[in-house]
Amino acid sequence: MAGVKLRIQGVDCYYGSIKALDGITLEVREGEFLGIVGPNGSGKTTLIRAIARILKPKVGAIFLDEESIFAMSNVELARKVAVVPQEAVTTFNFTALDIVLMGRNPYLGRLAFERREDYEIARWAMELTNTWHLANRPVNELSGGEKQRVIIARALAQKPQVMMLDEPTSHLDISHQIEILEILKRLCRQEKVTIIAVFHDLNLAARYCDRLVMMNQGKVAAVGSVEEVLTPSNIEKVFSVKVEVRRHPVTGTLYIVPLQVSRGVAAGRRGRVHVVCGGGSGAQLFMELVDRGFTVSVGAVNLLDDDYAVAESLGLEAAVEAPFSPISDEAYRQALDLALKADAVIVADVPFGPGNLKNLELALEALKQGKVVIMLGGNIEKRDYTGGEAKQLYFKLLREGALECKSLVDALKLLEKAAAH
């Protein structure tokens, strides 16, 4: 087992008279990916600031390789610890290579220019983060994901033993989130860099971290393996939300499914509608239905799907599947239960592949049980990625009484008519 790289002992930190950290004691091992999770204001960023020596504890001590970080010079600490902020501000339009070379400053004398070695290390860091092709691009012209990878490359150019990141994937789409976290995981395994990262998303933390620290009100609420920390009881206690913790059938990692309670506007006034959707095809429909007084349920959808995010924000009941996974029998049963409770089912204009074909089977079962089923969009041939299976199910639905609408407006008219009866 790797030795202890960082030791935090009884640390209290304050902002003025407000205590932000309360008795934090923690050990981080060499080459470990440690995630820090917790609600807003729980002390996650403050802990990063304390380890980076931006904020000095009133009580307690922090040791790196058993040496107090407050006994180190600024240069010595910068050679050992790198920090990637949540948002990096670049006032001047430096090139990406200029930004990465800034990570070599702790190794240069005053007024000294970069050496060949510094350029070689900068190139190594950029190749590792897949940014070398951006070397001559102005940093302010880069996308969010590209810029974040450049900032990580700058931190790597410091050749640190410990890298700390404050919500490294915030404001990025899911493809960039995964790309950056894969890079960090590789750094732990191949370069033995110790990674400490603040996470907003529990599912991303569960997928990539070796251990987790869950914080609440400036204290450590739980620390240990992902399985030990991300329990339904811990999450309910700290985040005040009931969840189900499941294991991904492919990766074997845990993922969290909130157990939602519908709080739609004037719930039940116009009846219940279940929406089959995915990839953002249902978002506008949810909002229209809620605004018109319908109680709405959703599913089955994948946890990181855009439609799930909107449904969650609206407080809609949803049958949820693991990220990037085909609909399981369990998720299908949950979705079917929601569909059978509804007065009508709307199948949105969503592409169908092997992973979500069960949603068409769900619509067919709901139709057999006497539910109104509305097929939105048409053009199933262009949305069928199953070799014709989706097309066959779609036309079977129409033959057995499902209603096809070309637009959202037409679908809403049908629902309004059904609700009036």
Fold adopted by 4-242: Rossmann fold (3.40.50)
pLDDT value at position 1?
45
Q: In the β-sheet with 33-37, what is the strand arrangement from edge to edge?
A: 81-84, 162-166, 194-198, 33-37, 211-216, 219-225
Q: What percent of the chain is helix, strand and coil (3-state, nearest 5)?
A: 40, 25, 35
What DSSP element (H or E) covers 280?
none
DSSP for 32-51? -EEEEE-STTSSHHHHHHHH
Helix (H, G, I), strand (E, B) or coil at 217: coil
The full set of domain ranges for the chain reads: 4-242, 260-420
Q: Exposure string (b/e) for 197-221, b if CB count within 10 Å is 16 or more?
A: bbbebbbbbbbbbbbbbbbbebebb
Residue 4 and residue 66: Cα distance in Å, rounded?
9
pLDDT value at position 328?
87
Strand partners, 352: 384
Helix (H, G, I), strand (E, B) or coil at 245: strand
Residues of the chain with pLDDT under 70: 1-2, 86-91, 109, 111-112, 170-173, 259-270, 418-421
Structure tokens that stand for 413 in this block: 């008219």
Residue 347 and residue 394: Cα distance in Å, rounded?
10
Instruction: For residue 281, give the nearest of 304, 258, 305, 257 by alpha carbon.
Output: 305
Q: Do 357 and 389 contact (CB within 8 A), yes or no?
A: yes
pLDDT value at position 262?
43
Structure tokens that stand for 6 in this block: 């960082």
Residue 190 and residue 193: Cα distance in Å, rounded?
8
Fold adopted by 260-420: Rossmann fold (3.40.50)
pLDDT value at position 269?
56
Instruction: For residue 359, give the nearest of 279, 283, 418 by alpha carbon.
Output: 279
Angle formed by the axes of helices 358-368 and 329-341, nearest 10°: 40
Classify burial at 370, counting beta carbons within 10 Å of its beta carbon; exposed 0-12, middle 13-18, buried 19 or more.
exposed
pLDDT value at position 132?
94
Residue 410 and residue 413: Cα distance in Å, rounded?
5
Q: Classify the C-alpha dihedral 147-148-154-156 as positive or negative.
A: negative
Structure tokens that stand for 343 in this block: 């007065």
Residue 218 and residue 225: Cα distance in Å, rounded?
20
CB atoms within 10 A of CB 249: 12
pLDDT value at position 260?
55
DSSP for 75-124? HHHHHHEEEE-SS----S--BHHHHHHGGGGGGS-TTPPP-HHHHHHHHH
pTM equals 0.69
pLDDT value at position 421?
55
Same fold, 4-242 and 260-420: yes
What DSSP element (H or E) covers 15?
strand 4-15
